[in-house]
Every structure is written in C-alpha cells, then in structure tokens.
Amino acid sequence: VNALVAIFQQFRAQKKLEALEKLSAGETRVIRQGSEQSIPPFEIVPGDIVKLDQGDRIPADARIINSSNLTINEASLTGESMPAAKDEAGNIGPDVSLTDMRNMVFFGTYVSTGVATVITTATGGRTEIGKIQGTLEELNTGDIPLRRKVNLLAKYLGIAAVILMVVSVLWQVVIYDWLNNLPIDLGFENILRQTQTAITRAMTIMPINIPLLTTIVLLTGVLAMAKKGVIIRDLSAVESLGRVSVICSDKTGTMTRNQMTVKYCWDTHNLYSVKGDGYDPVGGIYLMKGANDTITLEVKEEEVKDIFTWKGLYRLVVCGGINNDSEIIKEEIPDQGEIWKPLGDPTDAALLTMFRKSGIDETAITKKYKIIEEFPFESELKRMSKICKDGKKFVAFVKGATEILLPLCTMVNGKDTPSKFTPDMADRVRKLTTDFASKGYRVISLAYRHMDKVPTGKGARDKTETDLIYLGFACIVDPPREGVKEAVADCHSAGINVIMITGDAAATAKTIAEDLGIFEKNSLVVEGNQVNTISDDDFVRTNVFARVNPDHKQVIVERYQDQNRVVAMTGDGVNDALALAMSDAGIAMGITGTDVAKEAADLVITDDSFASIVSGVHQGRGLFNKIRMMIYFYVAINLFESMIFFGALFFLPSAVPMLTQWQSLYLVVTTHSFPGLALVFDRTSKHAMEDKPRDSQALITRNLGKFMALNVILMTIGAAAVYMLTLTGWGGIVEVYPENLAGFYSTPESFTVPIEAAKATVMLLSVILLVESTIVLSIRRINMPIQRSLRESGTFIFVILLGLIYLAHFLLMYVPLAQEILSPFGLDFYFTPLTSYDWLIVILASLPAIVGVELYKWRFRKRDIDL
C-alpha cells in the first residue's frame, strides 16, 4: 500500500511539473546578439532581453527596461481583478509585496495593454510561480485523516483483543482447572490449542469489513459528486469536505466572475442600470426612474429601447465604445460551450460590452468616427483619449479617473445642448462617484469635445484634453457569480464560516463581502501583512483578508488548522496552489482554474460555481455520516458478540459450544454484511446540512461512545438472558417441546450437542439478528428518531437488504428443504423451528436495546447535542 501511495504521489508531482510547463507554450521574441528572434519559452535564460506586446503571456520573471502604457493581468498570481500598471520605476526587495513591484513582470501572467522591453531575472523553478510549485512538491500531506482515525480505532480494538486473548488462555490453561481442582496441563500442545482458540475468539472483536466498505462509501461519493459537477481527485477530500467548518475562498474568479461589468451609468441627468453580466452582449440599458442620485431606493426601471432618443446616454455610450483598446472574442470551452473572452484591458472590455448592449450599430459608428490620433492611458495621467474625424470636423473622446477629468471640463452634457459646468454640478458628480466607489465600484468618467483641427507638436495632448464637455460616468464591478450569495447563506446555516481572500484593496473587498453576506456586524477586514501579528481573537473575527499574497494564504490556512478547524480552500489561480495543497480540502475551478491549481487541488468544480461547493459539502457530510455510522455499527456488534462469546468461556461448560462453525459463518454472511451494505448505498439525507460541523473530532466521540456502551450492554443482556433461559430451562420460561422439532428434517440423535443447547443457539441467533438489523435503522440518521428516519428517501434499500436476512432465517428455520439441500455439502446449521411463544420471548429480549437507544437519542436531542 505504501508503495502504491508513493507511486501515486510521484505521478501527481510529475503532473504538476507538466502543468507548469504548459504555462510556457508558444513563442517568445528575444533580442540576442543585436537581432530579434523568436524562440520557445523554455529556451529563455536569465539575462535575455524579451519583447512584450498586448496579449502576450509572460515567459519568465523579468525587470522592465522600458515600457509604454503597460498593464499586466496578474489575477492568476496575485488575485487582483484589475490589471496592474507597470513601468521601469519602482522598488523590489524582500519586504515588497508582489502587488507593489511596479517594475517587475512575472511568469504566467498576461500583458493587458501596452508594450515593453524586459530583462529576464528568473526562469523555471526560480520564478515566483516556480517557488510556489517547489513548495507544493516539498509539502508532505501525510496520511489521510480518515485513515489515521481508523488506524487509531483499530489500535485500541487490537489492544482489547490481545488482552482478551491473554485472559482466555490463562483461564482455559490455568484458572479453570485450578478452580475445579483439576491437574493443570502446561504442555505445549494444550497451550497451542488454547492459544489458537483464543485468537479465533479475539478476532471477533476486530471489524474487518470496515476498510473495504469505507472505500466503497468513498467511491460511491465520488460518483454522486461527479453528477453535481464536483470531480474528486483525492479520496481523502470526501471525508474532509464532510467535516469542513471553514471555507477560505479566493474572491476573483471564484466568488466573482472575473469579468468586469458596467452595472450603472449616469449621463448627468439620469441614472441607468445595465443588465447582463460578463462580456456577453446580451442585455440592455434601463432607466432608473426617480434614482438620479442614489441606487438605494426602490425604483421602477424602464428599458431604453431607442437610445438615439436619449442623446446624453447615446454620447456617453459612444464615447466608451470608441475610446477603447479592447476586443471581445468567442472561445470554445470543452463541455461548457462558447464563452466571451476579452483581449486587452477589462475596463475597456466592460465599456465595449455596454456599447454593444445598447443596440447601436457598431459598424456604422466605427465608420462614422474614424480614429486618426490617440493618446494612450498613462498611470501618471490616469486618462486616455482618441481623436476621430467627424465629417469636416473632429471630436476627441476622453475617459479616465473622475478626479482627473473634472478640472479639465468646462461644460456639461445637456439634454439638447451643453451647459456650463458649475461648481454645484462638480460637487454633485464628486458625491455620486464617491458613493459608488464606497460600494465597491470602479468609476470611470467620460468626456468629449469638438475641434476644428487636430492639435500637433509639443503639448498636443494637453491641447486636446482641455475645455471638455463632461458626459457622465460608468460604474464597473467584477460581479458575484450567480447563486454565491445563497450558497454563503447555506454555509452559515450549516455552521460553516466563509472567509474571503483577495489581492484587492480592503475597502473594495469589504464592500463585496457585505453584498455577499460574508462580512457581518462584528467582522473584521485584515490586510495580508497583518495575518502573522493579529491576536487569535481578532483572527477568529476576521471574515475578509485583503492585499494577500501566496505566503499570507499559507499562514491563514495554518492558523485555522492550529485551531483544529477543518479548512477548505477554493481558488483558480497559481497564487492559490499552495493553500489548496495545504488545506484539508483544496477546491479548484474547472474552467478558469490554471493547470497548476487543478493539480494541487483535491477537488475540481466543473462549472466554476461557488454554489457547487455547498452541494459538495452536503454530499461530504452525508458520506462522513455513513462512514461514522458504519464504523459504529461494526464496532458495536463486534463488541456485543465478543461479550457474549467471551462470557460463555467463563459460564458455559467446555463441552457446550455456543455456536458451530457454520452458525458463526451464518452471522458473518447475514448480519455482518447486509446491514453494512445498506448503510453504504443509503441516500444522503436532505437534512445533512443541519448538523453541526465536526472539525477534527474523533470518529467515535465521547457522547457517541456513551451511546454505544449503552447499546452494547442492552443487546448483551437481552441475548445472554434468552440463551441462558433456554439452555437451563430456568423457571420454565422457555422449554424444549417435541413440537419444537416439527418439520425439522434431522432427528435429535443427529445433533452433536444437547437439544436444549441447539434451541438456545437458535434463540440467541434470532435475538442477534433482530437487534443488529434494528440498530442499523436507528443509527442511519442518528440525530433523528427512528420513525422519522424511516420516512427518509433510501429506506427501500434497507427493506430489501434486511428482508434478505429475515428470508434466509425463515428458510433455514421452517423449510426443511433448505437444510436438506445444504446438508450434503456439510453446511449443517442445526436450526430448530421456534414457536410463536419463542418469538415473543425473542422480541421481548430485544426491545430494551431498541427502545433504550431511542430514549437515549431523545435525551441528546433535548439537550441539543449531536451524536
């Protein structure tokens, strides 16, 4: 087994390396010996000069030599949804976070806009992504939690079995003969014979079915989760998912769509909502009546069907569509169909999508406004412009940060003609944009101006971007995924704490967390550089971690695990890979997830929906409950039978065996098999999410141990009482009559034991069958009364499998032909038929175990304690 595990781990490590290599696909332009040439990325070495253009995947970590309008999409590395502005200025060092290294570009990220020349500083395993990969391979995940706990349980049971074996040998070899004044036989053959018998008895305490059935439960769980869009890569994650109490989720691409979207726009007169998420042009623009200055009111929306009649809105939308460097294409995703993907800056893509949703003819507009000059976005200026020819005149479209554009505007967009841009209007714009920014929106202001000629020479940009007419603004956000808010609420109702982890600023992260229901009244927002220093009390109150880099994520997971919490980590980027591997259940996104993240994860969500995690947790809890109850069942019945059979050692004459070899086999085939299979194939309860998280609790908790002790004692008392009453005939309660053998194919002379012992054995087997088949019904939903659990879906499985046990018992007891068929093969079970009175005694002896455990369950429910 260890060898197979080692091979599997090596296979996974190799797959991770292959995933890392996939990030390097394509050709890279480098300058060597004074000439430009294209080479495969894996041939790049430190010191190579690399040329980067828009859309390029960066092949290595590198420092910027020179650049123009350079922004990098670093979402897969840092988690930030907005492209990072880069230039040759800036600092690097051990204390500088990745998000603050303005003069560095990193392997595996993309050029959103602009061009650059860079010098390679690190390749392969020495890159920032490579360091994460190296840590993943060094990470020792150790044995799976379920296996550790089963092994611990087996250890205790093994110790008990050894003790009972030693006691059995001492009793048979020394104590029994000494008490009966018989000569003590210490001969080798006698000791060997008694040791073999003791080992056989001791093995009854070991539940040997557990490893196989546990694996079957996990495999059935894998199949069930696959139907829900959750692919299991590591079986241990199924059990961990059922115990999880903390979900640390990356914001970008997991809770949000990682698709910048215009949600609102304002044309200086009216506020509009823009329907539709992502870059799909399906949607529309709606007037929000009575919501000129706020979106907090309940307002009536009216679709803008003919945008040409809304001149202010028309100019705003056209400005955003023309002054744009992005493109949006369709891309085929296996099993998901076509999706819209942006090329270029996501903010530009959001404005272009709004333009297409408006219904304006894009071909006609681009033909009307031919771009003849442009001034690209610069991080210092925070604006960009394009000059277009409009008939015999020219028009400049400008967009940028509100605080930059307002001082450049002298007029404001009017319903028909522009009017003077007054201080009051400027204050109104500032108030509105500040309000939207506080709600987590990225606010882009737009303006334009008409010109008779195009400025040239020095200062042309300043001449163009002055005396502007303010058009309004657009509010852009990376929207939450559908169903995420409801999924978060479901997690909270299940006692699971949802933690948002992001590279975004604290204010933005808090706003989104509040919208999703993650950030609550007493919650805290903590930045990544504080995760090592905040107190345990503050850490527990923290629901949002902002400005986080990969090292911080590692600390976050470790701190939760130090509190004995079972942690699930979701994510899609390379920056998530280490935390995915370290967490108890790493969950990667299937569509947007990088190959490195998928290989590091234990589970992959095929539809990238956070809501699917709730389905996974629901299934995981159901499977974990199955495993616990299956282990409980086998430990309980083995302890019960061990007490009966070891007790017989001290109270029965050695000439009276309690069970024959085939009767013991009968127990194994029936009560040791079919009830366990019923648990394995039982349906997951729809109430599984109502249970409290179990974190790192033992499989058999203290309360469950008390419950088991009562259960075993009551079963033992009932079974032992029936056996002894029948064997001894005490009080005449149970007697052996000739009619007991009516229809029995064997004659009494064929019995190798007294008739009383034969009937006592059958009475005992009947009690065992009844209590062990009933206990499985009681524990399948251990926190429910049995009558309620019988109304749960999946009960028919128990009816069928337990019915087979009763059928076999009936055939062996009342159909002589069944024993006649088996007898020639040496399968003599010696079942004596029981009368209705005998069955009454069997039922009465079984009732305390059935009723007693139900009353004990009721007591725990009244105290609101989960077993």
Phi and psi dihedrals of 136, rounded to 5?
-60, -40
Element holding 185 (H helix, E strand): none
Cβ neighbours around 851 below 10 Å, total:
12
Q: What is the 3-state secondary structure (H, E, C) of 213-267?
A: HHHHHHHHHHHHHHHCCEEECCCHHHHHHHHCCEEEEEHHHHHECCCCEEEEEEC
> One of 250, 504, 572, 595 is an active-site residue; which one?
250
The DSSP call for residue 422 is: -
210-227 vs 145-170: helix crossing angle, rounded to 10: 160
Q: What's the sign of the alpha-carbon dihedral 769, 772, 778, 781?
A: negative
Question: For residues 451 and 483, is the Cβ–Cβ distance under 8 A?
Answer: no
Q: How many other CB atoms sit within 10 Å of the CB of residue 547? A: 22
Distance between CA atoms of residues 214 and 196, nearest Å: 29
Closest CA to 593 of 608, 612, 611, 603: 608
Q: Which amino acid is at 107?
A: F
The DSSP element (H or E) to which 142 belongs, if any, is none
CA distance 268 to 448: 14
Q: Give exposure, 714-725, as e/b (b: 16+ Cβ within 10 Å).
A: bbbebbbbbbbb
What whole-number distance in Å separates Cα of residue 860 and Cα of residue 495?
19
Closest CA to 481 of 611, 625, 321: 611
Type and span of the H or E element at 281: none
- Integer Cα distance of 329 and 339 in angstroms: 8
Calculate the dihedral angle through the C-alpha atoms of 51, 55, 56, 60, rounding to the nearest 10 degrees.
100
Map residue 232 onto helix, strand or coil.
strand
Beta carbons of 716 and 644 less than 8 angstroms apart: yes
Q: What is the DSSP letter of 668?
A: H
User: Would you call 250 a catalytic residue per the annotation?
Assistant: yes
Residue 546, H or E segment: strand 542-546
Candidates 215, 225, 217, 346; CA nearest to 279 is 346
Mention every residue, 6+ apart, whose C-beta is less than 8 A from residue 29: 36, 37, 38, 50, 51
- Taking the C-alpha atoms of residue 164 and residue 202, their distance in angstroms, rounded to an integer, is 6
Q: CB 378: neighbour CB atoms within 10 A?
A: 17
User: Do strands 497-501 and 542-546 pair parallel, antiparallel, or not at all (unpaired)?
Assistant: parallel
The one-letter amino acid code at 43 reads E
- Distance in angstroms (rounded) separating the CA atoms of residues 476 and 444: 8
Are 70 and 111 contacting, i.e. CB atoms less than 8 angstroms apart? yes
Would you say 577 and 132 are in contact if contact means Cβ atoms under 8 Å apart? yes
Distance CA 297, CA 209 (A): 63
Dist CA 330 CA 337 (whole Å) = 10
Burial class (CB in 10 A: 0-12, 13-18, 19+), 109: buried
- For the record, the structure tokens of 79 come out as 């988690």
Alpha-carbon Rg for the chain, nearest whole angstrom, is 37
Positive or negative, the CA dihedral 182, 185, 189, 194 is positive
Query: 221 Cβ partners below 8 Å, 6+ apart?
Result: 232, 238, 619, 620, 622, 623
Contacts of 863 (CB under 8 A, 6+ apart): none
Residues catalogued as catalytic: 250
